[in-house]
Amino acid sequence: MSQNWWDSAVIYQIYPRSFRDSNGDGIGDLQGITEKLETVADLGVDCVWLSPFFKSPFKDFGYDVSDYRAVDPVFGTDRDFDVLLNKAHGLGLKVILDQVLCHCSEEHRWFEESRQDRTNPKADWYVWQNPKPDGTEPNNWLSFFGGRAWTWDARRRQYYFHNFLTSQPNLNHRNPEVRAAVLADCKYWLDKGVDGFRLDAIHTMAFDPDFLDNDPRADIENGGDDSRVSQPFGMQDIQSRQIDQPWGKQFLAELRALADSYDEPRFLMGELGGDNGAEMINRYTQPGLLHACYNFDLLAWDGQTAEELEGVLRRVTDKLEGHQITFATSNHDVPRIASRQVKRLGLAPEDTDRVAMMMVELELALHGSVCLYMGEELGLEDADRLALEDLQDPWGIEFWPTFMGRDTCRTPIPWEAAAKHAGFTTADKPWLPVDERHLPRSMDQQLADPNSFRAQVKSVIARRKSGEILTGGTLDVLDSPENMLVLQRASGNKNQRVMFNFGTKDALFEGEKVEALSSVFGQPMPG
């Protein structure tokens, strides 16, 4: 039996800007979410994860927070959030918030004070370093979004460190005053009744205090065809110096103590990137740290073959050592799973629905908690036909045309096929255009069709919850034929096989037929 609600939860991620606009300004908001919560609850999910809605200049669309306790007026008011939270709880939904605690906006009052001089009370709240004697940056660290990870500030005559945009300075979590201030902001939301946090890029809070250069990656050749070198930071071993240092877990221990202090303990799920996923999960979910780690292994930008999926699951699950994981196949940062997989498998557009459903079924057949990204239940394709003038994501704009960034998975949800902008907004222009290919998959049409893609997803969620085998127990990845992935779930004296055939021809596994591009959930059997 699961001891905590999050052990096997199905978590529905909402990107507020693109979910539903209630006031006609072209941007989704909290009231829009509240108005559609019944539809979310009807799907059978356990929890809603809200991407940031805090006050922000939106240079990284909310992942650059300028006030951790304030709802940005674009999304509504404090009362709008309270109404949303109360309604969600009334529908039996938990609510977790996306907290961006490794960095903030340059417009945060803390940074505005810190950058004034080297002696103010918050002078050490961020990561400042002197230039080299020749005036250049302190080391070779690169930003994930392009360019150096250091920006010169003329007032302090020092460089400040930022893993992402220049407008997102990294907080110095080695300073106990910083940790205390961030914890107080987290407590504000927990006291309101939120059920936990998804912690954004939590491995980026720690850095080498000696500021030594990153090593070059040893497993690739610079300038090669490897997708990791399409952007310069992919040529460095960023985990050697820039991120994921041992001391970084101190803050998580303090946050966990806070989460556990409530009568109903609150859930902490940390986003971890990197190449050694299982190792990092085991380290970050030690007793007294995170409850679970949000895993990236199924979020490969270009999709994965059956063989690669098998390798990923073996690599992660065989080394988990009993620690908790949260799987996801889509989110606000990568192309939608339907498009990724069809392209990776070399399939035709008409195969999109079948492949998308298989990936939903795969996700829901895994152990631990899982995250469905809004629109995944509709089988939405990636909006990869956006024009340059439509792009909002600074990452995509920086690397256009070889890389489109994250806007392609952030376009608005189509609520009504026949309505203006598919019912997302009444504004003349939404913040991102609705993809016309999404209209036949609109929510209203799918709710009216008992055989729709959404109806099938709802059925799979119900199947996952129908017994202990898919919500608890163990998971083994079995040796399987080409183009197939076979999982075995077991609980107590029962086991169940789930088989996936990603090939275009029917296949057999131990005498059982699996049709092309389909899955088979075997009946539970004695162990």
Name the residues annotated as catalytic. 200, 271
Under 8 Å between Cβ of 390 and 407: yes
How far is it, in rounded angstroms, from Cα 423 to Cα 139?
50
Give the whole-angstrom CA distance, residue 71 versus residue 220.
44
Beta strand 158-161 with 67-71 is unpaired
CA dist list (Å): 189 to 49, 184, 355: 14, 9, 39
User: b/e for 237-275, b at 16 or more Cβ within 10 A?
Assistant: ebbbbbbbbeebbbbbebbbeebeeeeebbbbbbbbbee
Terminal CA-CA length for the chain: 18
Give the type of residue at 39: T
Task: Name the one residue in this structure whose structure tokens are 């298989």.
Answer: 358
**Is residue 459 within 8 Å of 521, Cβ to Cβ?**
no
Return the H-helix or E-strand segment holding 278.
Answer: helix 277-284
**432 HSE (CA, 13 A, CB side):** 27
The strand pair at 512-514 and 474-478 is best described as: unpaired
CA distance 197 to 200: 9
Burial of 298: CB neighbours in 10 Å, binned 0-12, 13-18, 19+: buried
